[in-house]
Each structure stands twice: as structure tokens, then as C-alpha cells.
């Protein structure tokens, strides 16, 4: 028998029902979302330690628990497309986006495709083509990369569509525009990493941040935070939309803008 779904205590907004699972919360949230014109509504999901680190020994795996996984997969189950930076896909060994058949069945019942598109953006054209995702015949992967990347994409088992853009026009606003206009993506989930998240923030392309704060201290340098690179032109103010708790982890949903 399958394990029972994790249950969360909703701390904010006040007056919300006590314990609940991720599914009804996310169903209600997605029903109320309204994508902006010309690009997908973009949700970003991260897990961090309480001292603000996004990795343990170079990967996020050691940070998230069952509650984090249920939120992570619950978001994947409901969006039109999932993206992550090439480095994240490489390090985390990305595979099929929705492995659980029951999640794919629920998508079909909602009138969506069986699984979300996977989307990869690379300006260098150095693609992680050896990850399991590209070996999965059911996966549909949209790759935004220069024309030179074409040779690496031939012969892969996944259904890959290469949108060839040269570095000057390979910008995140252009990718967002094309995802909406050419691929019908109204909701996009970005799963990091810090470099891609920072670039999306700098372009004003992030609508919501889902941040799991794990009850762990990891130590080490500040290099491994959820953002990276140069400071943003000015601090981005977040609106706390909900706060959940489960077994000491805090699950915050923030709105931007």
C-alpha cells in the first residue's frame, strides 16, 4: 500500500484549516492563477537549509524530506513546463519529469498532456545530453541553444525540439515569449539553480517563489545560496502568501511584484 500523503500545518494565512495535504492546496492555488500576457506565469521552487544553503555536498538531495518532495512533485504535476539550469540538470541527474503513473493520469483527467514539457536553456550549447531525461522516449524536451548544439541532440531517445537561437537573441525574455507563443506554456516551474534563478529575477520574470526551509544547519561558504552572481539592481520585495509547517520544515509561498 502507498505511504499516506504528508500533511502540513497551515500557519498563515491565519484562520486556514488545520492539517492538510499538498494536493487540495495546490489545486485551489492553480485554479486561481492567471498567467500574464505574452509569457508563462513562472513559479520557482527551492529547498534551503536554515543557514541558507541550497546544497549539501553539492546537491540539494540532502535537504528535502517527504513534505518537500510532495510539494515539489505536486508543482510538477500541475504546470505546463518545467525548467532548470543545465548545471542543475547535470548535477541532479534529471530524469523523466513525472514518474508516478497516477500523477500522469490526474493530468490527463484535468485535460493536460500526460506530463509537462521539459525546457532547457543553454547559451554555450554545452548540454547535459547524458542525463536520464534525454534517454527517456516519453519525455518531450524543448532545448533553446545555439545552432551548434544540433549535432549533440541527434539520435537521443527523448522527443527533443531544438529552438536554435544565437547567443545575442538567446535571452530569457525571448525564451519566455516563445514558450507561451509557440508551445502554449501558460505555467512554468523553474527548479533552479541559483544562476538561472538570479538571471530570471534580473529580467523580472519570476511571479512566485516556493521556498522550503529545512531544519538543518549545513555550514560552509555563502556561495551555495539560492541566488548567485552579482547583487540584483535593487532588493526584490516578497509577499508571503502562505506558510506551512511539517516536522520542523517551513514551506513558504511568496509572490513577487
Ligand X SMILES: NC(=O)c1ccc[n+]([C@@H]2O[C@H](COP(=O)([O-])OP(=O)(O)OC[C@H]3O[C@@H](n4cnc5c(N)ncnc54)[C@H](OP(=O)(O)O)[C@@H]3O)[C@@H](O)[C@H]2O)c1
> Can you say how many angstroms the Cα of residue 90 is from the centroid of all Cα atoms in its chain?
15
User: Taking contact as CB under 6 A, which single stretch among the options 1-9, 40-48, 181-189, 230-238 is the one that binds ligand X?
Assistant: 40-48
With binding defined as CB under 6 A, does residue 195 bind ligand X? Answer: yes
Cα–Cα separations (whole angstroms), residue 231 to 128, 171, 257: 28, 19, 18
Q: Which residues lie below 8 Å from residue 247, measured CB to CB, with a gap of 6+?
A: 65, 67, 215
- Residue 107 or 213: the one with the smaller Cβ distance to ligand X is 213
136-175 binders of ligand X (CB under 6 A) = 172
Tell me 236's DSSP state. Answer: P
Contact between 100 and 36 under an 8 Å Cβ cutoff? The reply is no
- Select from 53-61, 73-81, 151-159, 213-221 the region that touches ligand X (CB under 6 A): 53-61
**129 touching ligand X, by CB under 6 A:** no
Work out whether 199 is an interface residue with ligand X (CB under 6 A): yes
The answer to whether 7 contacts ligand X (rule: CB under 6 A) is: no
Cα 36 to chain centroid, rounded: 18
- Name the segment binding ligand X (CB under 6 A); options: 16-24, 117-125, 135-143, 179-187: 117-125
By the rule CB under 6 A, 128 interacts with ligand X: no
Question: Does 252 help bind ligand X (rule: CB under 6 A)?
Answer: no
Q: Compute the least distance from the CB of residue 160 to ligand X, in Å.
A: 16
Total interface residues for ligand X by CB under 6 A: 30
Considering the rule CB under 6 A, would residue 126 count as an interface residue with ligand X?
yes
Q: Whats the size of the chain, residue-wise?
A: 257
> Edge-to-edge strand order for the sheet containing 249-256?
19-21, 7-12, 238-246, 249-256, 208-214, 41-49, 187-190, 81-83, 117-121, 140-145, 159-164
Radius of gyration of the chain (CA): 18
Q: If binding is defined by CB under 6 A, does position 86 make contact with ligand X?
A: yes
Distance from C-alpha of 193 to C-alpha of 257, rounded to nearest angstrom: 21
Tell whether residue 191 is a contact of ligand X (CB under 6 A): yes
Binding site for ligand X (CB under 6 A): 46-48, 54-55, 58-60, 63, 84-88, 91-92, 121-124, 126, 172, 191-196, 199, 228
Amino acid at each position: 500500500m502507498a505511504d499516506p500523503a504528508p500533511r502540513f500545518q497551515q500557519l498563515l494565512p491565519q484562520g486556514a484549516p488545520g492539517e492538510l495535504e499538498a494536493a487540495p492546496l495546490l489545486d485551489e492555488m492553480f485554479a486561481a492563477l492567471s498567467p500574464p500576457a505574452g509569457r508563462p506565469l513562472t513559479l520557482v521552487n527551492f529547498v534551503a537549509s536554515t543557514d541558507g544553503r541550497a546544497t549539501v555536498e553539492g546537491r540539494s538531495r540532502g535537504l528535502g524530506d517527504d513534505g518537500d518532495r510532495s510539494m515539489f512533485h505536486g508543482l510538477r504535476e500541475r504546470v505546463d513546463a518545467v525548467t532548470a539550469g543545465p548545471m542543475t540538470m547535470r548535477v541532479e541527474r534529471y530524469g523523466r519529469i513525472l514518474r508516478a503513473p497516477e500523477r500522469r493520469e490526474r493530468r490527463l483527467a484535468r485535460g493536460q498532456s500526460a506530463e509537462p514539457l521539459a525546457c532547457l536553456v543553454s547559451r554555450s550549447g554545452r548540454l547535459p545530453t547524458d542525463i536520464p531525461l534525454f534517454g527517456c522516449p516519453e519525455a518531450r524536451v524543448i532545448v533553446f541553444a545555439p545552432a551548434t548544439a544540433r549535432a549533440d541532440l541527434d539520435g537521443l531517445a527523448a522527443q527533443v525540439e531544438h529552438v536554435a537561437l544565437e547567443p545575442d537573441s538567446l535571452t530569457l525574455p525571448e525564451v519566455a515569449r516563445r514558450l507561451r507563443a509557440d508551445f502554449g506554456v501558460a505555467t512554468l516551474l523553474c527548479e533552479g539553480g541559483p544562476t538561472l534563478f538570479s538571471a530570471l529575477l534580473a529580467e523580472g520574470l519570476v511571479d512566485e517563489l516556493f521556498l522550503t526551509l529545512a531544519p538543518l544547519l549545513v555550514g560552509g561558504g555563502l556561495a551555495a545560496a539560492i541566488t548567485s552572481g552579482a547583487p540584483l539592481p535593487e532588493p526584490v520585495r516578497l509577499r508571503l502568501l502562505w506558510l506551512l509547517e511539517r516536522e520542523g520544515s517551513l514551506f513558504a509561498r511568496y509572490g513577487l511584484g
